[in-house]
């Protein structure tokens, strides 16, 4: 009830109402871009190839992953197939390089001017990634036999050649840059982070398909008989609610480290004495980054091994091919173990590159602040580093549990990927995180204007809160 009242109050504030309508309008344009087919592509032949490739590999493989995160643009090879992902990839690369390249690290610390230069470098890198990825897509569409002998003789492109490749590169690059611009406009004039909202909308656009798959599974549809007992449905719905609750707790969980400030200067030269605050260390400090890194590191090597090895061989090549098949299938024990190990590795790797305990301890010392019972300086840095290691172990464990749930559902209950993908993994983490961030921003507007928020008690806290 309080939630509905909060949404009603949001449209009573002219500024907030305008921001919401702008966001909805720009998101609608983004969805239109993802529905415009690439000229020269026979989308029916493409869908047949995708379905054959999906059935020959694992149901939740790289093709399904792309289909979810492009909002269905892959199936018809839309010019918006790349969507916002080249921009996100460029941001991740620049963020990682800023930790190891002194020049980029210096820009990061130069305030607004440095951030603007980093943003410009990110945009240039986005263009490079768009060109490389769209050229690869155009080449693959022109030569489907490269996907495997089963596709020899298949024609996806009506008139393949250099002209088609250049047209595809220009179309997909321009569409991706246009979506990047729309994301910036949402961030500036709308509600929340534009890039994150676009990704969330792409994911949730597959929800109707998931509902139809669930209806077909439990009730039958279009002459297709139900394939699972109806008693399984309420159990699945209850499990989904529990998973969402756990994901919200993982996203919002923080470890509060008490901070004492010995002095605080205010305008006019006045200085106040002891104050107590706290430093929030997020349990899921890494967000979805470990999952995003782990997925390609499993799928890409296994795909290459499947291409260069012989499945009919009884020797080393055949054994390597069977190993690659098990590694690429998300329902096998090998895939889950390697996936979990990679998630934990990248969780600690991301914290090691992004969480600088020495800088934090130096800033606390300059501000006249300290952690009770811990000496300022090196001892504080060691304490924070040890604390973050323990938190990362807990957060990484929770992250891999959420990531493995869809695979367990597919393996144990034969739940289709279209349904299972909403029970965990990157999809659920992004949707929950972005929704919390957006609601938190809306709630701050409501509270400033003396309206009730979305909760009866307390307030929402986003991923960065």
149 or 232, which is more confident?
A: 232
Whole-angstrom CA distances from 2 to 205, 353, 447 are 27, 41, 14
Is there a single domain that holds both residue 185 and residue 52? yes
**33 occurs within a structural domain:** yes
Q: Is residue 434 part of a domain?
A: no
Cα separation, 94 vs 353, in Å, equals 12
Q: Up-side HSE of residue 181: CA atoms within 13 Å toward CB?
A: 9
pLDDT band at 212; cut points 50, 70, 90: confident
276 beta partners: 260
Do 294 and 197 belong together in one domain?
A: no
Calculate the average pLDDT of the chain: 82
d(CA 37, CA 47): 13
Residues 25, 166, single domain; the answer is: yes
Integer-rounded Cα Rg, in Å, for the chain is 25
Given this model, what pLDDT does residue 60 score?
43
Higher pLDDT, 465 or 294: 294
Two tokens, residue 219: 């009730």
Cα–Cα distance for residue pair 75/421, rounded to 1 Å: 17
Token pair for 189: 């004039």
Instruction: Give me the residues paired with residue 260 across strands.
Output: 276, 370
Residues 289 and 407 in one domain: yes
The pLDDT of residue 154: 74
Judge residue 88's burial from the number of C-beta atoms within 10 Å of its C-beta, 0-12 exposed, 13-18 middle, 19 or more buried.
buried
pLDDT band at 178 (very low <50, low <70, confident <90, very high): very high
Residue 283 predicted with pLDDT over 60: yes
Same-domain status, 323 and 363: yes
In a domain, 444, yes or no: no
On whether residue 113 sits in a domain, the answer given is yes
**224 belongs to a structural domain:** no
**Domain match, 142 and 34 both:** yes
Beta-strand ranges (E) seen in 212-325 are 254-261, 264-266, 270-272, 275-282
As a whole number of angstroms, the longest Cα–Cα distance in the chain is 83
b (16+ CB within 10 A) / e for 256-283 = ebebebeeeeeeeeeeeeeeeeebebbb
Q: What is the pLDDT of residue 59?
A: 41
Q: Is the pLDDT of residue 285 over 70?
A: yes
Q: Both 309 and 407 in a single domain? A: yes
- Regarding whether 240 and 199 lie in a shared domain, the answer is no
User: Residue 116 region, left (φ>0) first, then alpha (ψ -120 to 50), else beta?
Assistant: alpha
Q: Where are the alpha helices (H) located in 253-377, listed in sequence order?
A: 289-308, 316-328, 333-354, 357-366
Query: Residue 30 and residue 181: Cα distance in Å, rounded?
Result: 10
| DSSP symbol at 258 | E
pLDDT at 153: 66
Q: How many domains does the structure of the chain reveal?
A: 2
Quick check: 69 and 83 in contact, CB under 8 A? yes
Q: What is the per-residue DSSP string for 103-130?
A: HHHHHHTSTHHHHHHHHHHHHHHHHHHH
Q: Is the residue at 40 inside a domain?
A: yes
> Same domain for 201 and 241?
no
Q: Looking at residue 173, which CATH number applies to its domain?
A: 1.10.3370.10
Q: Which three-class secondary structure state does DSSP give residue 369?
A: strand
Asked whether the predicted pLDDT for residue 83 surpasses 90, the reply is no
Distances (CA, A) of 197 to 20, 192, 422: 12, 7, 17
The pLDDT of residue 390:
92
Residues 6+ positions from 139 with CB-CB distance below 8 Å: 165
% of the chain beyond a pLDDT of 90: 16
Same domain? For 134 and 184 the reply is yes
Gap between the Cα atoms of 337 and 350, Å rounded: 20
> Mean per-residue pLDDT for 269-282?
72
| 412 is a domain residue | yes
Buried-state track 398-422, b at ≥16 Cβ within 10 A, e below 16: bbbbbbbbbbbbbbeeebbbbbbbb
Domain shared by 291 and 334, yes or no: yes
Does the pTM surpass 0.95? The reply is no
For residue 8, tell me if it sits in a domain. Answer: no
Note down the domain range covering 389.
235-252+284-423
Q: What integer pLDDT is reported at residue 144 of this predicted model?
A: 74
- 37 - beta bridge partners? 78
220-229 per-position pLDDT tens digit = 877 778 888 8
Contact 428, 247 (CB under 8 A): yes
Q: Based on the fold, state whether residues 411 and 297 are members of the same structural domain.
A: yes
CA–CA dist 459, 159 (Å, integer): 57
Angle between helical axes of 425-448 and 378-413 (0-180°, round to 10): 120
Apex CA 430: angle with CA 428 and CA 433, to 5°?
105
């Amino acid at each position: 009830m309080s939630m509905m009242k909060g949404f009603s109050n949001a449209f009573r504030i002219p500024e907030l109402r305008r921001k919401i309508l702008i966001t909805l309008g720009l998101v609608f344009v983004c969805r239109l871009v993802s529905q415009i087919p690439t000229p020269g592509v026979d989308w029916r032949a493409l869908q047949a190839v995708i379905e054959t490739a999906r059935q020959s590999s694992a149901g939740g493989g790289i093709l399904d992953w792309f289909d979810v995160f492009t909002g269905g643009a892959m199936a018809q090879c839309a010019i918006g197939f790349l969507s916002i992902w080249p921009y996100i990839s460029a941001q991740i690369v620049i963020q990682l390089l800023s930790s190891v390249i002194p020049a980029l690290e210096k820009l990061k610390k130069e305030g607004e001017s440095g951030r603007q230069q980093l943003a410009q470098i990110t945009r240039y890198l986005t263009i490079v990634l768009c060109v490389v990825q769209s050229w690869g897509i155009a080449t693959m569409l022109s030569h489907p036999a490269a996907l495997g002998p089963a596709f020899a003789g298949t024609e996806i492109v009506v008139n393949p050649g250099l002209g088609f490749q250049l047209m595809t590169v220009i179309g997909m690059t321009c569409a991706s840059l246009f979506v990047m611009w729309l994301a910036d406009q949402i961030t500036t004039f709308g509600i929340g982070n534009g890039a994150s909202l676009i990704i969330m909308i792409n994911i949730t656009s597959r929800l109707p398909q998931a509902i139809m798959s669930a209806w077909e599974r439990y009730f039958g549809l279009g002459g297709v008989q139900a394939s699972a007992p109806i008693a399984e449905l309420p159990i699945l719905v209850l499990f989904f609610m529990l998973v969402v609750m756990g994901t919200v707790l993982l996203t919002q969980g923080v470890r509060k480290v008490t901070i004492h400030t010995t002095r605080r200067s205010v305008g006019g030269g006045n200085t106040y004495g002891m104050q107590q605050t706290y430093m929030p260390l997020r349990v899921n400090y890494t967000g979805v980054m470990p999952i995003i890194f782990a997925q390609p590191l499993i799928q890409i090597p296994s795909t290459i091994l499947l291409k260069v090895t012989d499945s009919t061989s009884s020797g080393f090549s055949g054994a390597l091919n069977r190993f690659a098949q098990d590694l690429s299938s998300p329902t096998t024990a090998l895939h889950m173990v390697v996936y979990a190990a990679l998630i934990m590795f990248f969780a600690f790797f991301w914290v090691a590159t992004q969480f600088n305990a020495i800088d934090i301890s130096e800033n606390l010392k300059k501000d006249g602040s300290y952690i009770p019972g811990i000496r300022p300086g090196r001892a504080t840095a060691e304490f924070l580093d040890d604390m973050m290691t323990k938190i990362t172990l807990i957060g990484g464990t929770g992250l891999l549990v959420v990531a493995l749930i869809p695979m367990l559902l597919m393996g144990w209950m034969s739940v289709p990927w279209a349904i299972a993908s909403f029970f965990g993994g990157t999809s659920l983490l992004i949707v929950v995180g972005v929704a919390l961030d957006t609601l938190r921003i809306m709630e701050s507007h409501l509270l400033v204007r003396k309206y009730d928020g979305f909760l009866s008690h307390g307030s929402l806290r986003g991923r960065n809160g």
